[in-house]
Amino acid sequence: MEPWRYGFLLLVLHTMRAVIALEEIIVGKPGDNATLSCIYRGRELLLKNLRVYWQIADDQEECSVVHALISGQDNESEQCIHFKNRTQLFWDRLENGDFSLLLLNVSKSDKHTYKCVVLQKTEYTKVIHQAKVVLSLAASYSKPILSGPIRNSDSTGEEVTFSCKSGNGYPKPSVYWINKTDNSHLSPSELKITPHPDGTYSVFSTLKVNATSNMEIECSIENKILHESLSANYTQQNQSDSSSTESHKNLEKNGRGAQAAGIISIVILIGLLVGLTCWLWRRRSSKLISYSDVQPNEDKGGLNSPV
C-alpha cells in the first residue's frame, strides 16, 4: 500500500473512532444520584466553541432533551420537564473534556439509554465526540427472614406452613422455595410483592407442605440485575436429636436448681452460726455484769462486819 493511502486510512479510522458512540451500563439505586459519563480525550477545548447535548437515545420519546450546554452556558429552553432542576454538569471539569452529567434523585422512569453529543464550531460545526450510557436501577434486598412451623414430634404428615419475607430491593425479585433434601423446587402458596413510595419493593411468600421427620427448606430471593441471590434455611431436627436436646436442657436446669439450693443452705447455715454466736456473746456479757454488781456488795459487807 502506498504511504499516502496508508496515512489517509489512519486519518479516516481516527475520525470514525472519535465520533463512534461508546456504550456504558451503570446501575443506580432509586432515590440516589447517578453520574452519566461522557469524557472527550482530545485536544484542549474552548467552551465558547462547544455545544453539548444530553438526550434520550430513543427517538420515539416525545421529549428527548435531558440537558444542553451552548457556548459555555446551560440552555433550558428545550429541556424536558421531567428533568427540570435534576441535572448538573461538572463545571470544573468541562475544559478538560469531561462532559459527564449528574442526574439527581433517579426513579424507574429514568431507565433509558442516554446519548451525549459534543459539537465543536471552528470553520464549520462538526461532531467531535459521542457516548451512550444505559441507566438501569437496582437495589439489594435485605436478608430473607424464614419462619418455620412450630410442631410436635408426632406431627409428621400434617400440613405445615412456612413464611419468608424481605424488603428494600429493586426491581421485583424472583422467589424460589427449594426442598434441600433433593434440591427440588416447590410452588409457593402465596406470593405478595408490595411497592413503596421510594420505588423499592418488599416481598412476602408462604409455602404449605406436609411435614416430614427431617425437613430442609430454603427460601431464596433473586435480584437478576445485580446477579444476587440471598437465601434463608430451615432444618427440622430428628426426634432423637430433639429428645437429646430436651434432656440436656433438663439436666442443665436440674443442675442449676441444685446449685441454687446449695447456696441457699450455706447462707442459712451461716445465718444460724452468726445468730448462735451473738446469743452466746450476750449471755456471757450478762454474766459479767451480774458478777461486777455482786463484788462491791461483798466488799462493803466485809468492812462492816465485827472483828
Taking only the tens place, the pLDDT of each residue in 113-163 is 999 999 998 888 899 999 999 999 999 999 999 998 866 555 678 899 999
Whether the CB-CB separation of 40 and 99 falls below 8 Å is answered with yes
Q: pLDDT digit string (tens) for 250-307?
A: 545 555 666 767 788 787 878 787 777 877 777 776 655 554 554 455 444 443 444 3
Q: Is 185 helix (H, G, I), strand (E, B) or coil?
A: strand
Contacts of 56 (CB under 8 A, 6+ apart): 64, 66, 80, 112, 113, 114, 115
pLDDT band of 243, cuts 50, 70, 90? very low
Q: CATH 2.60.40.10 in the chain: give the residue spans.
A: 19-137, 145-238
CATH fold label, 145-238 = Immunoglobulin-like (2.60.40)
CA–CA distance, 70 with 153 (Å, rounded to integer): 77
CA–CA distance, 222 with 201 (Å, rounded to integer): 13
- H helix or E strand, kind and range, residue 292: helix 239-304
Q: How many CA atoms lie within 13 A of 221 on its CB side?
A: 29
CATH architecture for segment(s) 19-137: Sandwich (2.60)
Kindly tell me if the per-residue pLDDT of 64 is higher than 60.
yes
pLDDT band of 20, cuts 50, 70, 90? low
